[in-house]
Amino acid sequence: MTDDDIKKAALAVLAEIAPEIKTDEIDPEVNFRDQFDFDSMDFLNFALGLGQRIGVEIPEPDYPKLSSLNGCIAYLAPRLAGN
Amino acid sequence: MPRPDIASVIVKNPNDMSGTSTPFSWQQAGRELDGLPGGGLNIAHEAVDRHAMGFERDRVALRFIAKDEMAKGGAVHDVTYAQLTEQTNRFANVLRALDVAQGERVFTLAGRIPELYTVALGTLKNGNMFCPLFSAFGPEPIEARLGIGGAKVLVTTAALYRRKVAGLRAALPGLEHVLIVGDETPPFGTLSLAVLMAAASADGRCEPTAPDDPALLHFTSATTGPPKGVVHVHGAVLAHLVTARMALDLRPGDMFWCTADPGWVTGTSYGIIAPLVLGATVIVDAAEFDAARWYQILEKQKVTVWYTAPTAIRMLMKAGANLARGFDLSALRFLASVGEPLNPQAVLWGRDVLGHPFHDNWWQTETGAIMIANTAAMDIKPGAMGQPLPGITAGIVRRLLGGGVEEITAPDTIGELAVRTGWPSMFRAYVGAAVRYRECFADGWYLSGDLARRDDDGYYWFVGRADDMIKSAGHLIGPFEVESALMEHPAVAEAGVIGKPDPVAMEVVKAFVALKPGYAANDALRRELLGHARQRLGAAVAPREIEFSADLPKTRSGKIMRRLLKARELGLPEGDLSTLEGGA
- Each of the 584 residues of chain B gets a pLDDT tens digit; together they read 555 555 444 444 555 555 667 789 999 999 999 999 999 999 999 999 999 999 999 999 999 999 887 666 668 999 999 999 999 999 999 999 999 999 999 999 999 999 999 999 999 999 999 999 999 999 999 999 999 999 999 999 999 999 999 999 999 999 999 999 998 899 999 999 999 999 999 999 899 999 999 999 999 988 888 899 999 999 999 999 999 999 999 999 999 999 999 999 999 999 999 999 999 999 999 998 999 999 999 999 999 999 999 999 999 999 999 999 999 999 999 999 999 889 999 999 999 999 999 999 999 999 999 999 999 999 999 999 999 999 999 999 999 988 899 999 999 999 999 999 999 999 999 999 999 999 999 999 999 999 999 999 999 999 988 889 999 988 889 999 899 999 999 999 999 999 999 999 999 999 999 999 999 999 999 999 999 999 999 999 999 999 999 889 888 777 888 989 998 898 887 664 444 433 33
Q: Residue length, chain A?
A: 83
CB B273 within 8 A of CB B47: yes
Which chain B residues are Cβ-neighbours of A17 within 8 angstroms? 544
Q: How many domains does chain A have?
A: 1
Q: Give the whole-angstrom CA distance, residue B524 versus residue B289.
A: 31
Is residue B420 less than 8 Å (CB to CB) from chain A? no
CB atoms within 10 A of CB B267: 21
Q: How much is the pLDDT for B71?
A: 62
Q: Give the whole-angstrom CA distance, residue B549 versus residue B513.
A: 6
Which chain B residues are Cβ-neighbours of A44 within 8 angstroms? 315, 504
Q: Residue length, chain B?
A: 584
Which candidate in A14, A40, A46 is best for mutational testing of the B interface (most B CBs within 10 A)?
A: A40
CA B427 remoteness from chain centre:
13
Contact check, Cβ <8 Å, B504/A60: no
In the chain, the amino acid numbered B578 is S
In sequence order, what are the beta bridge partners of B420?
B445
More confident of the two residues B390 and A80: B390
Per DSSP bridges, beta strands B492-502 and B506-515 are antiparallel
Q: Using pLDDT thresholds of 50, 70 and 90, give the confidence band for residue A80.
A: confident
Contact check, Cβ <8 Å, A41/B505: yes
Strand ranges in B264-338 using DSSP code E only, listed in sequence order: 281-285, 305-308, 334-337
Is residue B319 less than 8 Å (CB to CB) from chain A? yes
Residues spanned by the domain of A27? 3-80
Helix (H) or strand (E) holding B192: strand B191-192
Is residue B289 less than 8 Å (CB to CB) from chain A? yes
CB atoms within 10 A of CB A29: 9
The Cα of A80 is separated from the nearest Cα of chain B by a number of Å equal to: 23
Is residue B274 less than 8 Å (CB to CB) from chain A? no
Is residue A60 less than 8 Å (CB to CB) from chain B? yes
Which chain A residues are Cβ-neighbours of B67 within 8 angstroms? 34
The ranges assigned to domains in chain B are: 41-454, 470-570
Fold topology of B470-570: GMP Synthetase; Chain A, domain 3 (3.30.300)
Q: Give the whole-angstrom CA distance, residue B393 versus residue B395.
A: 7
Minimal-distance CA residue of chain B relative to A40: B289
CA torsion sign, B493 to B494 to B499 to B501? Answer: negative
DSSP code of B201?
-
CATH assignment at residue A54:
1.10.1200.10
In the chain, the amino acid numbered B353 is V
Closest partner residue to A41 (CB to CB) among B138, B473, B534 is B473
Nearest to B223 by CA among B575, B559, B502, B536: B559
Q: How much is the pLDDT for B581?
A: 39
The Cα of A71 is separated from the nearest Cα of chain B by a number of Å equal to: 15
Predicted confidence (pLDDT) at residue A82 exceeds the cutoff of 90? no
Q: What is the model's pTM?
A: 0.89
Q: How much is the pLDDT for B584?
A: 30
Q: What is the DSSP string of A17-48?
A: H-TTS-GGG--TTS-GGGTS---HHHHHHHHH
CA torsion sign, B205 to B210 to B213 to B217? Answer: positive
Closest partner residue to A33 (CB to CB) among B288, B293, B473 is B288
Q: What is the DSSP string of B136-148?
A: T--HHHHHHHHHH
Q: Give the whole-angstrom CA distance, residue B347 versus residue B357.
A: 5
Burial of B20 (0-12, 13-18, 19+ CB in 10 A): exposed
Q: Give the whole-angstrom CA distance, residue B479 versus residue B483.
A: 6
Angle at Cα B153 formed by Cα B152 and Cα B156, nearest 5°?
145
Q: Give the whole-angstrom CA distance, residue A60 versus residue B317.
A: 10
Helix (H) or strand (E) holding B387: strand B387-388
Is residue B98 less than 8 Å (CB to CB) from chain A? no
Residues 452-481 of B with CB under 8 A from A: 473
CB B272 within 8 A of CB B236: no
Which chain B residues are Cβ-neighbours of A64 within 8 angstroms? 290-293
Q: How much is the pLDDT for A44?
A: 93
Q: Give the whole-angstrom CA distance, residue B328 versus residue B307.
A: 18
CB B149 within 8 A of CB B131: yes
Is residue A64 less than 8 Å (CB to CB) from chain B? yes
Buried-exposed string B95-106: b where 16+ CB fall within 10 A, e elsewhere: bbebebeeebbb
Is residue B414 less than 8 Å (CB to CB) from chain A? no
Buried-exposed string B305-334: b where 16+ CB fall within 10 A, e elsewhere: bbbbbbbbbbbbbebeeebbeebebeebbb
* CATH classification code of B41-454: 3.40.50.12780
Burial of B194 (0-12, 13-18, 19+ CB in 10 A): middle
